[in-house]
Amino acid sequence: MPELPEVETTRRGLAPHLVGQQVRGLIVRQAQLRWPIAQALRDHLPGQRVEDIERRAKYLLVHTQAGSALLHLGMSGSLRVLPEATPAGLHDHIDWRLGSGHVLRYTDPRRFGCQLWQEPGEVHPLLAGLGPEPLGDGFDGDYLWRLSRGRKSAVKLFLMDQKIVVGVGNIYAAEALFAAGIHPARAAGQVSLARYRVLAAQVKRILAYAIRRGGTTLRDFISPDGLPGYFEQELFVYGRAGEPCRTCATPVRSITLGQRSTFFCPRCQR
Contacts of 259 (CB under 8 A, 6+ apart): none
- Is 175 known to be catalytic? no
- Is 2 known to be catalytic? yes
Cα dist. 20→17, 23, 131, 133, 188 in Å? 8, 10, 30, 26, 45
Q: Which of 58, 80, 97, 195 is the catalytic position? A: 58
State yes or no: 44 annotated in a binding site.
no
State yes or no: 195 annotated in a binding site.
no
Q: Which of 34, 56, 186, 260 is the catalytic position? A: 260
- Is 34 known to be catalytic? no
- Is 3 known to be catalytic? yes
Q: Which of 3, 6, 8, 175 is the catalytic position? A: 3
142 backbone φψ class: left, alpha, beta (φ>0; ψ -120 to 50): alpha
State yes or no: 149 annotated in a binding site.
no
Return binding residues for DNA.
91, 110, 151
Return binding residues.
91, 110, 151
- Residues with active-site annotation: 2-3, 58, 260
